[in-house]
Structure 1
Amino acid sequence: MASTPTSAQPPSCALQRTLRKLSSTCLGTGQNRTCQEPLYVLSLDRYMRDPNFAVFFQGSIHASDSLYDTTLTDGDCKIRVSIEPRLNHLIVKNQLRCGSTLTNVEFFVEENLEEGRTDVLVTNLELDQRSDQDAGLRALFGVSVKSLPWWTGVEPSPLPLRARRATYLPLWNDHDFSGEVWRDRPPDDTNERTTSRAPVSLSDVRQRFLSDGSRIRGDIRVRILQKSRLMHYGKAEQNCLCPYKAEMQVADASASVCVVLWNSLCVEWYRRLHPGMVLRLSRFRVRESFGHRTGQNTEPDIEISLNSSHPSAIISIVSPVSPEWRLPDVPHDFCKGTDLQSSPHGNICDVVGLVIFVGRPECILKKEGKMDNFRWIQLEDGTSEQPIMVKLYSTSQPDVHSTIQPMAVFVCTRLQLVKGSSQFYYLTNTQYTQVYCTGTGCPLAMPYKGIRPFRQFLQWLDQTDESHVMNRSVVGGYFIYPPPPASLRIFMEERKAHPGLVSGQELKVLCGKLQYRESQRFCVQCTICAVEYHHQEDGHMSFLSSPSAAPTSPGFPAEPQQRIRSPRVQKRPNPITAGTPRKRLFLPSSDPEEISDSELSLFDSALEFLIGDEKDLDNPGNDEDSDGDSYITAHTSPTCSFGLSQASTETIPRSFCFQRRHVQASATGLQPSTFHKLLPSEELESFSPADFYKGHYTLQLRALSDGVVVNALFLPASLETTHWRPLPYPHTNTWENILSHGGFSPHAPPPSPADLMATKAQLLNQKFVCVLEACPLGRNRLELVLSRAFPLQS
């Protein structure tokens, strides 16, 4: 929203020509305008709607509580507009994103005479499917988008356009802060100049309130011991400009209490306050603690509220600190890797380690509609061969999370140990988890060096072979933890609280409802009707259809190969044991100037086979196409299936590149909301796959319930996968065992892909319960990874 452009000159750009001044006969009613020329998305910003939603979007019915504003440009000027809520699905699936090229954009333009502005709403649009993903980057190459003039000639308000909210929300979670309004320094020096009152102790404040409900006037001088992540409590039916709160555990020499930072004080102070700081607080409110009000704690206690008004709290950061105050130090409870093995479930601890694996961020949609994201972190501390696993959710430190990388010293406080029925365990967030990591611009604020576990870690780090750790470091790629069990019975017992088996069509519908990077697990009864192997070799891209063209493992028996005739020939031999070698194709390698850190190129080779039905096998010499043959062909056709037929760039784990670590961190992360953070869509491919990655399998599954065909990727775990080890159970490396264990036996050399393809007859007429890990990667790409396939006994 902004004032109407006043230039009398003929419009020279597409936006000016489309959104020229409304005629006087249409004032107050609005007009629809269509821009057929390409427009480019410079930013996308999310916020929560308010009770005035129906005023701005008359007749619009949408389940989402989120609204979106966007900045569009034609290359000559730019405009800030709102997006019709019925187009939200394009954003949450990452189809409409920063950098998108739009055509036939329909605007609803209305003059607001009372406010003296022009309201512009995007009511419809088309995503340009003819151009590639980087068309916007190329079109605006060399253009300073920050310097482009606004269509109105006046910079619009930084606040949301269609709701009374003071801040925008992050695109992909509800716990981080977003925008320049969140200050990383005190709002002004007013508080520092405020005359201090007589100090009072926390014990006196607590005793006075619990005895007669009154409070003592004065200042409290406290140290921050713990700091929670931000909590956005806004609701669509509530009018609250800044619905945020954050909690801090503080203490003085007499007691400790919970301090709650409310609303706009979060915007002004949250980024500035850290554990270890000493504060002087005055004009605060005292109330009964939340735990006692809700019955969680039987002992009565208090909490201190800091508000922006009624009364307006005064916060001061104190430095230096007088030793006479006798303020307690920040408590620590560091656990080593060996300590975690014997610690009980639910134990709260701190950890320090060297990062060796950083997973890709994934999203989760909670029951209350709040969004969060997480990523897996693996640490080594020199005390155990088992790495420390951390499932790290948002801690309201977006600048730190987005730049966590291997070879960094990682300190994480207030983590909770999760131990299930299996031998696998990991650490995850509590409300007060905070992350400190070298290389992220956040200096370690705590005096950790005096703590014994930290000193021992530094001694181990000093003796560590840096090149050895570098070669084992991995970034991104598909990853799950804990791994599912190898027993169908145990797996189903662990999933009692989750939905059971779904049909193929239900799987397709449920996957269609998932948002960008929202991972979820499904179970389907299937048969395997086709398998491909996509193989990486040095130097060239090759396409092979016969396993005999690849090296075999010594001592591993191979089945005889037969040729598959052309599909136009009616006579069909047994397709289970058929294979036709194709000519090897060579593609030029990447430009070494473009990929300075990569000496390997990705390329695929496919080893394909089809499994016919029982009728085909009983009559191998049948010269006529039967109804059964046509049915199988229809249901194994790629046009009838869904899911990626090859691994996407986000699926493949990458070797860590120290020289380009910041670019690699950005390329592995979530889709950015601003144009200046945008990278080319293929930037991730410029980083070499991890050394252990040799290829992957694609299995075409046919649901037993309705015949729907699903493409599922299979990445078997082996001892070579440094960040993802196989289950520690020995087994014979048959197809059944490999699929049910999710990988190869750790007690025997893994079979080569050619050997596995040679034993493909093992899959004939087998029925499986397939465990699929679904994750939409954006741009209409659905990643389905087969984590387990349990054979069903007849």
Structure 2
Amino acid sequence: MSASDCVLRRTMSRAASVRNQVVCREMLHVLDVYRYTRDPSYFVYFHNIILIGADFYDVVLCDGDCRISVALDPRLNSLVEKNVLRRGVAVRNAALLPLDLPVTVKSFILNSVEVCAPEGDQGDCDNLPWITRSSTSGPILANRMVYLPLWNNVDFLGSPWRKKLPPQLALETDPLPRVTVEALRQGFLRHQEWVVHPICNLQMIVRITQKSHLMYYGKAERRSSCPYRAVLQVCDHTGGVALVLWESMCVDWYCVLNPGHIISLTLFQVKPLYRSDSSDIEISVNSQHPRTRISVLPDTQTWSDMVPSQTFLERFCGSEQLPDCPHDTVCDVVGLLVFIGRSERIRKGTLLLEYRWLFMEDGRSFKPIRIQLFSTSQPDVHRQLHPMMPVVCCGLKVIRSEEGLWYLTNTPNTLLYCSGVGKMTHAAVQRLRDWVRRQDHERIWRSGLIGGFFTYPPTPASLETYMRGWQGAPPIVQGSELQWEMKKLCYRERKTFCIQATVTMVTHCRRGEEELCIFWRDGFSSSPSSSSWPQSTPQPSPISASSLCKRKLFMESPQKGRPTATVQPQARSNTAILFEASLEFLQNTDSDSDDTDDRDDQSSVTRPTVPDFPPVAAETLTMRCDGSIQQAATVTMGGTLPRDAVFCCDDYYTLTLRVLPEHLCVSAVFLPQRTPLSPRGCAHENTWASILANGAFSTHTLPPTPDDLIRMGQQLANKKMLCVLEMCHLGGDTTEVVLSRGFII
């Protein structure tokens, strides 16, 4: 098919002739999805609808012959936020509405679309011609200069961000008078005109010592085309000061300026330190009125005499020192990565913050260094992290819990170094290299783990301690609230909920062999005196939800005032159905106890049916490292696990919980097996009450076998529990529900 006769061009020509919405029935591919915040002009396009959220999206579509960038109707935003409409999927029945913009380039809004499964390799589409406009032209529906990453506001995205140093300007033979940091500070405090004047036309030579992450302050009511801010800490031989890059100066200079660089500044502004009660100053670097001039100088003796020497790992702490460090201590660490968690997000106000867990070992103690690493404006470095990689993390802070547990997390100036670790001469790096050389490399590879469910610090094993952590009663939700909150979760968003529930079924499965599960179900028995756990039963073939049939499941020993039967649906397909509304129990209205006893004798018993629950998601289980960088990329945002992944443990339990008081049911995965990621354990009796309270088997005795644990299911019959659920949206219709703790109350 010629480019002039491709599917998209034919659709665009129809749209031009009718000036109305047209529908492309043929299959198209999504090459990319871009995000940006709206600005005050949005009401021109969508004045008849109420917008929820501040994000707009542009979608790049391809038919194999050409490409087009279209704006997504904000009413379809949930398709992106649930990771349904994503890069690589196929779509059809795309409804495109011509958009009259105050520019010469024609654009379209994608009003509706049907998302299909991915359809193989799309080939190289980077050289295909564009129709009307390209994604490099910038956002369609807002006056923004650059796009945002899909999943956070910290990283940068796209080609506008300069990655290399610009051509250096030669310093004038008769340079401007030079000023030191201390002279600048004193002149500002004394209100001297040469400093307080809007522009300081002097030259300052400083060395960069720290670099913050990017701070995006774009709001729907602001018209700024590039609302970014970044802070560099710089110093010379007289002292240090904060240097602030604003707006497009971030795009031009943020990626190329790094700690250690010596820079020359002219035409800058001096202001009071941003949001500070102190009388200190900051240097403001702007792109206009006039544009600040920045030059990167060679690290030669000429310039090094004006600034202090480069320092590295000046706050280094080893794993043996960290347990004794006070809360909020800022430190640098060096170690070998042994675990990389999957990327997740937590909500802070209106923002979703992306993070992942890292475990590092440095050979200085037997305990790993646990790091909750948020985005650091280093997307390339984060993508290449994989187990067995030596990493230097600078600018972390210590977080301590009341129970004495500790971990590290970001400060605004956190930076990671990976590729250049081998060239660093610091004693801590050299010691790590020597320790790695002495290790058994096969053992190290076997210990490498990737992804899976993980949370830290662990939930307390005592209900009293857990309640005290909430300073009163925890926020307990009901079943209908739980359903609503689950629907609101965005892709990889993690949230914790507390519910009151009873356990109606316990199932043990092995991933991929769910049809061979063994289970205990409350109220069933093959005979009045036998154990209430059934043998493994083959899973019947799933049927559609439209062909559900009802059957009675009788209780083992009906008693006065207790339900005698419940009606449940036939087995459903194992897609993403986590909740099912159970009908109310059939109540016993006869008050005569003798009649109840007669009914006990006459009650019939049916053969237990195989339980119906969604199988565990592959993202819930931890993988063993195979040594490839590609494997580590599968647990990043938008990644897909390989089919041949080897998991640390394939066994898991599923508990069906009836949420009180509505009697809605939820299936929650329970992972009591100890893994290398598990925190320190404790000894207990390995009863269901103690296993659920601790979230794991006892560390001092052999764990019970699955058969024994299922046989003990009767211990949970009719027990009211406070359950702590961890929910994480895994994309599409799949939401992970993990039971981290269960306290009998």
1:628 aligned residue: 563
Instruction: State the 1:573 CA deviation.
Output: 5.3
1:649 aligned residue: 618
1:15 aligned residue: 8
2:229 aligned residue: 245
Instruction: State the 1:158 CA deviation.
Output: 2.7
Q: How do 1:107-506 residues align onto structure 2 when only pairs under 5 Å count?
A: 107-110=96-99, 115-128=103-116, 133-135=117-119, 137-138=120-121, 140=122, 143-152=123-132, 155=134, 157-190=136-169, 196-214=175-193, 215=195, 217-292=201-276, 295=277, 297=278, 300-322=279-301, 323-330=304-311, 332-367=314-349, 369-438=350-419, 443-444=420-421, 448-451=424-427, 453-496=428-471, 500-506=475-481
Whole-angstrom distance in 2 between the partners of 1:463 and 1:324 = 41
TM-score (norm 2): 0.87
Instruction: State the 1:469 CA deviation.
Output: 1.3
Listed one character per residue, the Cα deviations across residues 293-351 of structure 1 (whole Å, up to 9, x for unaligned) are: xx2x4xx1110011111121111111133242242432611111111111111111111
Asked if 2 retains the 8 angstrom alpha-carbon contact of 1:645 and 1:698, the reply is: no
2:67 to 72, 78, 84: 78
Asked if 1 retains the 8 angstrom alpha-carbon contact of 2:206 and 2:236, the reply is: yes
Instruction: State the 1:632 CA deviation.
Output: 5.6
Whole-angstrom distance in 1 between the partners of 2:171 and 2:732 = 51
1:88 to 61, 77, 80: 77
Whole-angstrom distance in 2 between the partners of 1:249 and 1:763 = 58
Change (3 A) 1:462 1:12: same
Listed one character per residue, the Cα deviations across residues 183-216 of structure 1 (whole Å, up to 9, x for unaligned) are: 1112333466797423221111111111115316
2:717 aligned residue: 764
2:664 to 692, 702, 708: 708
Whole-angstrom distance in 2 between the partners of 1:650 and 1:211 = 60
1:569 aligned residue: none
Structure 2: which amino acid aligns with 1:205?
A: L
Instruction: State the 1:22 CA deviation.
Output: 4.9
Asked if 2 retains the 8 angstrom alpha-carbon contact of 1:252 and 1:328, the reply is: no
Structure 2: which amino acid aligns with 1:642?
A: F
Asked if 2 retains the 8 angstrom alpha-carbon contact of 1:176 and 1:396, the reply is: yes
Structure 1: which amino acid aligns with 2:142?
A: A
What secondary structure does 2:290 align onto? coil
Whole-angstrom distance in 1 between the partners of 2:37 and 2:250 = 17
Asked if 1 retains the 8 angstrom alpha-carbon contact of 2:7 and 2:63, the reply is: yes
- Structure 1 residue 685 corresponds to structure 2 residue 640: no
Instruction: State the 1:35 CA deviation.
Output: 1.4
Whole-angstrom distance in 1 between the partners of 2:475 and 2:52 = 26
Asked if 1 retains the 8 angstrom alpha-carbon contact of 2:149 and 2:155, the reply is: yes
Q: Which has the higher contact order (CA 8 A, sep 6+)?
A: 1
Whole-angstrom distance in 2 between the partners of 1:81 and 1:315 = 37
Whole-angstrom distance in 2 between the partners of 1:71 and 1:195 = 52
1:747 aligned residue: 700
Whole-angstrom distance in 1 between the partners of 2:476 and 2:436 = 48
Instruction: State the 1:157 CA deviation.
Output: 4.6
2:733 aligned residue: 780
Change (3 A) 1:213 1:731: farther
Asked if 2 retains the 8 angstrom alpha-carbon contact of 1:516 and 1:776, the reply is: yes
Instruction: State the 1:80 CA deviation.
Output: 1.1
1:98 aligned residue: 87
Change (3 A) 1:104 1:530: same
Structure 2: which amino acid aligns with 1:362?
A: E
Asked if 2 retains the 8 angstrom alpha-carbon contact of 1:522 and 1:772, the reply is: yes
2:533 aligned residue: 578
Listed one character per residue, the Cα deviations across residues 203-259 of structure 1 (whole Å, up to 9, x for unaligned) are: 111111111153164211111111000000111111111110100111100010000
1:532 aligned residue: 507
Listed one character per residue, the Cα deviations across residues 518-564 of structure 1 (whole Å, up to 9, x for unaligned) are: 0000000111111211126xxx95743558xxxxxxxxxxx9x9996
1:598 aligned residue: none
Structure 2: which amino acid aligns with 1:689?
A: F
2:494 to 519, 525, 530: 519
Asked if 1 retains the 8 angstrom alpha-carbon contact of 2:509 and 2:516, the reply is: no
Whole-angstrom distance in 2 between the partners of 1:195 and 1:93 = 60
What secondary structure does 2:305 align onto? helix
Q: Percent identity?
A: 34
Change (3 A) 1:338 1:160: same
Structure 1: which amino acid aligns with 2:516?
A: L
Change (3 A) 1:703 1:575: farther
Unaligned runs of 5+ in 1: 1-6, 548-558, 566-571, 586-611, 673-680
Change (3 A) 1:629 1:575: farther
Unaligned runs of 5+ in 2: 541-551, 581-612
Structure 2: which amino acid aligns with 1:724?
A: S
Asked if 2 retains the 8 angstrom alpha-carbon contact of 1:545 and 1:579, the reply is: no
Instruction: State the 1:467 CA deviation.
Output: 1.4
Whole-angstrom distance in 1 between the partners of 2:170 and 2:465 = 60
Structure 2: which amino acid aligns with 1:150?
A: W
2:585 aligned residue: none
Change (3 A) 1:384 1:753: same
Change (3 A) 1:634 1:405: same
Asked if 2 retains the 8 angstrom alpha-carbon contact of 1:201 and 1:220, the reply is: yes
Structure 2: which amino acid aligns with 1:579?
A: P
Listed one character per residue, the Cα deviations across residues 36-86 of structure 1 (whole Å, up to 9, x for unaligned) are: 222221110001111110112332321211110011122232211101111
Instruction: State the 1:706 CA deviation.
Output: 0.5
What secondary structure does 2:633 align onto? helix
Counting matched residue pairs gives 691
TM-score (norm 1): 0.82
RMSD (CA atoms) = 3.0
